[in-house]
Structure 1
Amino acid sequence: MPTLATTNFNILLSVLGGWLSLFGSVSYLFKGSFYLSEAPISLLVGVALSPRAANFIRPLEYALGSPDKLASITLALSRLVLGVQLVLAGVQLPSRYLRRQWRPLALLVGPVMAAMWIVASLLVWALVPDLPLLHALAVGACVAPTDPVLSSLIMKGRFADRNHPKGLQDLVVAEAGANGALAYPFLFLALYLIKCLGDGSGDGSAAEHHGGGGGGARAAVGQWFGEAWGYAVLLGIVYGAVVGWLARELLRRAEERRFVDRQSFLVPAVSLALFVVGTCGMIGSDDALACFAAGSAFAWDDRFRLDALDDSLQPTADMLLTVPVFLWYGAVCPWEAFRASPVVPLGKLVALAVLVLLARRLPWVFLLHWFIPPIGQARQAVFVGFFGPVGVSAIFYLYVALGFLRTLDVDGKPRADVRLLPEAVTVVVWFTTICSTFIHGLSIPFGKIGHFLPGTASRDPSPPFGPLGSPASSAHGDEPGTGLRRSVFRARGSSGPKVQPRPGEAVPDRRKASHYGKDVLVDVVEASQVAPAHASVPCERRMIRLPDEPTMAGTRETCGHGRAER
């Protein structure tokens, strides 16, 4: 007789697949019309499906009842999502972007990043009772970096295309990628000082007495330069850049010899992230920074980015990782600790999270925006300064810090002077991440409703596509950030004037309207506008777009430079 196999694996796959299918079916409604990203929605769904409610997602059972194994799973998932997102961030940047825009990026990841760390640490020190300054520096380092995962959700889609010029979007993506990876030295400066100085007395006697090894500030700074900067940061940059360059050359040579098909051509961006995360994890280097360096080196000549404009593998992989990680965060977040924590009262915790999100970044970006050319207006400076979310990168650094603190245990017990630090950093980082996910995720829709969020002037002359059946008001225009010419017409039987092409412009292909609606967007684009400089024979591309596709999806082209028909 058949029996039900309600195992954790079957339940988890059912829940994950069901939610991905459900959200995917209404994704444009949420993201295109309501400006809601998948992060806050998935976080709420994770809470609803956790053991606190429906009990479909059971994280502690997956970890065999071990909190340490649960922490390892959360760290591994955060590393994976962060690594893939950082590679994609590097791949999305225009050709040689880091070399051309190194000055504004240096300001954002240098003085601004240091100010974010100091301000966040001082706020933690002021609002968390009885927390030493060194401990506050460690907590502040976890919440200081801008999260590339949440930043990419904010800087993609209809709202970003309508309100922000392409140069500003590229700057935010690049800054979030470098910023999210460069918190490593800030965190380990505090951790090495805690290890060598103990309670911060300065002579190292407390740390030596409690098993920390002592050595004083000189030993801490020596380890910081040698291990954090030398082995983790510099090695990570060099390793990631070399791997990215090798992957680019391998793909180029394979493409020239026609060894690779279209499906495999798009895979390296994701597989590169998996390889770098795994190998850097084995050698103990900074895999986040290595992933960003690898993505930037991989797309340095713009060949891959331009060839992948008309494909959706990367956004699909991004969504397939973002939704599960926030489902997981909603299920594993220590919600009970927020109300009953002996380290920090709930009222101060709320005040701390709000002040961190408002004061750690906004004032410094606004003060320095005159020296950052892509931020051309004060309103853009306010937007860039406010939208510096705390997310996956903070959870990643949280569990990195907890793992380091476990190495300071004496006889299997936490060292006396750091006994309360694990709980303090856990509560503060988790609560700030949850607040940032909702505040930054809901600011745009509430701002649009209340008309109190000023839009930034876009240099892009063409507005984005509206819902299917409601194309942009301009019949002709350049696609945001692509330079593509767009033509819009209405299908047979639909109302509205027909748009005639301009002189010399390709005539739109009048295809039969699909069942999605009466209005159909069809483009005929000359491939010389998007193909790499080495292309010798132009291609003709035709497509029917879904409403949120600013680039070419589902294309069919015939090229004379070695590209087979798709």
Structure 2
Amino acid sequence: MPSLAISEFNIVCTVLGGFVLAFGLVSFFVKERLYLSEALIALLMGVALGPYGAHVIRPLSYTRDNSEESLDSINLAFSRLVLGVQLVLAGVQLPKKYLFHEWKSLSILLGPVMTIMWLVSGTIIYGLIPGLTYVQSLAIGACITPTDPILSNTIVKGKFADKHIPVPLQRIIIAESGANDGLGYPFLFLALYIYRYAFLSDRAGYAVELFFTETVLYTIILSVVYGGVIGWLAKDLLHWASERRLVDRESFLVFAIALALFIVGSCGMIGTDDVLACFIAGNTFTLDDWFRLETLDDSLQPTIDMLLNITIFLWFGAVAPWSDFGTTPEIPVGRLLGAVIVILLLRRPPIILLLHKYIPRIGNLREAAFAGYFGPIGVSAIFYLYVTLEFLRQVEKLPLDESQAKGLQTMITATRLVVWLSVIASVIVHGITVPVIKLGNAIPLSISRSVSRMTDNLPGFGSFVSPESSRRRNSVSTLPIPESGLMGQRVDVSDISGPTSIPAPVARVNGDAERGKTLSWDNNLERGRERAQMEL
């Protein structure tokens, strides 16, 4: 006799599939009309369905022993997988030899900018979170220093990005977010080694030695070499197979994703930085631009990207320690929230604004403000959180005195709460920024139109507008915007005679609408050149 089988596997498949189906039905409206990120929607849905909501998703039930440590291992593995795939795709979508051509911009962003972000984050945490030493605070700050490639993709893709963000700025944001994820390792382990060997064991020299040999040489440099070699071999092998017609289209499209899985697994086995290796491999894989141009109009990679985004942020909404934010006596919720707010305000924008003149791909102050503000904290921070917790669990096994053990427990608690709340705040703040911008632009325009209608109907105002001029004005405003001849131009209205030659968007030469239209044309032109190159 048939019976219900309400197993955890069936529940997870039902919830994930149902949410993807429901979101898919309104995805265009949500992302291109409301300008809300899929990460924000998925996070909220995870909260609603998780242990603090409907209790449909029960993360602890998916572990072998219902322990927090096992759940942390799942979170670390899931973050590694998603980051690996996303970073290979991020590397693939950049033009050929991009890292070589943009070395100056990237050296500033990955050197002084990233270092200042780390120091600022650590200093804020040290000043606002009680019970931490400065070195402990720097370790926590290292977790939230890298900008997230997954949330960055939601910012630099879509109709808003095509209209308002220049393609060079989009690409430098993608490249920075991909590279600095792997380069978070030196900042994190420098602080962790100093804490472990200098403060707890009085072996500062060994901490420095271990940092340079294990972290810099083995973890970072070996990852760069390994990712470059694997990416190069994959490129040549795919060329060879394609020229001999040995590979079908489906396998061709999925090749980059399989490359990511291979690097994540192999780097995990040898203990190197799989995150950095994936990004380097993606760039090397498209060093000649062949694969990128061949897959420019295919939708498989964006589809995988969307599924991973939805899945991991749905999971994050369910596993985040929501109840701990206001119930941990050692860390008052006011100080915790204040630290996160100050981090979002001061971690990145000031240093980008200060150094933007030395970054060639950030052309002006407005682009610097955008690049500084949109430095989201996301999956990479969760990845480093669980790397840190894994390290600190090994430290717990050492013979520690009472004060050292208490300080260690404070650090573990603070790391978990600060990083999780920073990620949640970033997803929310950066997820609603574009709708707020659009609303802020729409309200003054709506008020202006209302005032204009009112004044037209008042005696002494409407009489100045003749029926003939009104007809001319209406005919001008309905003229189509030319698709050629105005690329990047700024038209002086005083030099144009006759109402029929002034398109309304061009007449608003100093307005955001005309600037956005011109920028959209410029972005489309650059993408059109890429497609023409692919056809040739």
**Aligned partners of 1:171 and 1:474: how far apart in 2?**
30
CA-CA distance at 1:160 after TM superposition: 0.6
Contact 2:131 2:410 in 1 (8 A): no
Q: Deviations for 1:62-105, whole angstroms, at most 9, x for unmatched residues?
A: 01311111000011111111111111110010111100000001
Query: What letter is aligned with 2:214?
Result: E
Contact 1:38 1:323 in 2 (8 A): yes
User: CA 1:300–1:403 in 2, change beyond 3 Å: closer, same or farther?
Assistant: same
CA-CA distance at 1:532 after TM superposition: 5.4
* SS of alignment partner, residue 120 of structure 2: helix
Q: Which residue of 1 aligns with 2:29?
A: 29
Contact 1:266 1:313 in 2 (8 A): yes
Are residue 423 (structure 1) and residue 423 (structure 2) matched? no
Larger RCO, structure (CA 8 Å, separation 6 or more): 2
Are residue 102 (structure 1) and residue 126 (structure 2) matched? no
Q: Which residue of 2 aligns with 1:87?
A: 88
Are residue 122 (structure 1) and residue 143 (structure 2) matched? no
**Aligned partners of 2:250 and 2:154: how far apart in 1?**
25
> What stretches of structure 1 of length at least 5 have no aligned partner?
199-206, 209-213, 455-471, 481-522, 539-566
Contact 2:293 2:530 in 1 (8 A): no
Contact 1:303 1:532 in 2 (8 A): no
* SS of alignment partner, residue 295 of structure 1: helix
**Aligned partners of 2:436 and 2:60: how far apart in 1?**
36
Are residue 242 (structure 1) and residue 229 (structure 2) matched? yes
Contact 1:193 1:220 in 2 (8 A): yes
* SS of alignment partner, residue 319 of structure 1: helix
CA-CA distance at 1:452 after TM superposition: 9.6
Contact 2:79 2:379 in 1 (8 A): yes
Query: What letter is aligned with 2:383?
Result: F
Contact 2:256 2:282 in 1 (8 A): yes
CA-CA distance at 1:265 after TM superposition: 0.9
**Aligned partners of 1:452 and 1:178: how far apart in 2?**
37
Aligned pairs (5 A) from 1:312-323: 312-323=299-310
Q: Which residue of 2 aligns with 1:295?
A: 282
Q: Which residue of 1 aligns with 2:428?
A: 438
User: CA 1:310–1:177 in 2, change beyond 3 Å: closer, same or farther?
Assistant: same
The match for 1:345 among 329, 332, 341 is 332
Query: What letter is aligned with 1:270?
Result: I
Q: Which residue of 1 aligns with 2:450?
A: none
Q: Deviations for 1:183-222, whole angstroms, at most 9, x for unmatched residues?
A: 1100000000011122xxxxxxxx23xxxxx42x211111
**Aligned partners of 2:314 and 2:283: how far apart in 1?**
29
Aligned pairs (5 A) from 1:159-238: 159-198=160-199, 207-208=200-201, 214-215=202-203, 217-238=204-225
**Aligned partners of 1:158 and 1:527: how far apart in 2?**
16
**Aligned partners of 2:126 and 2:144: how far apart in 1?**
13
Structure 1 or 2, whichever has the larger Rg, is: 2
Q: Which residue of 2 aligns with 1:45?
A: 45
Contact 1:88 1:314 in 2 (8 A): yes
Aligned pairs (5 A) from 1:442-453: 442-451=432-441
* SS of alignment partner, residue 86 of structure 2: helix
Aligned pairs (5 A) from 1:309-388: 309-388=296-375
User: CA 1:224–1:256 in 2, change beyond 3 Å: closer, same or farther?
Assistant: same
Taking only the aligned residue pairs, the percentage that are identical comes to 51
Query: What letter is aligned with 2:115?
Result: A
> What stretches of structure 2 of length at least 5 have no aligned partner?
445-478, 488-523
Contact 2:104 2:360 in 1 (8 A): no
TM-score normalised by the chain length of structure 2: 0.82
Q: Which residue of 1 aligns with 2:384?
A: 397
Aligned pairs (5 A) from 1:485-564: 530=531
Q: Deviations for 1:434-456, whole angstroms, at most 9, x for unmatched residues?
A: 000000111110121023999xx
Across the aligned residues of Structure 1 and Structure 2, the Cα RMSD in angstroms comes to: 2.3
* SS of alignment partner, residue 268 of structure 2: helix
**Aligned partners of 1:108 and 1:57: how far apart in 2?**
39
Query: What letter is aligned with 2:185?
Result: Y
* SS of alignment partner, residue 530 of structure 1: helix
Q: Relative to total residues, which structure has the larger helix share, 1 or 2?
A: 2
Q: Which residue of 2 aligns with 1:137?
A: 138
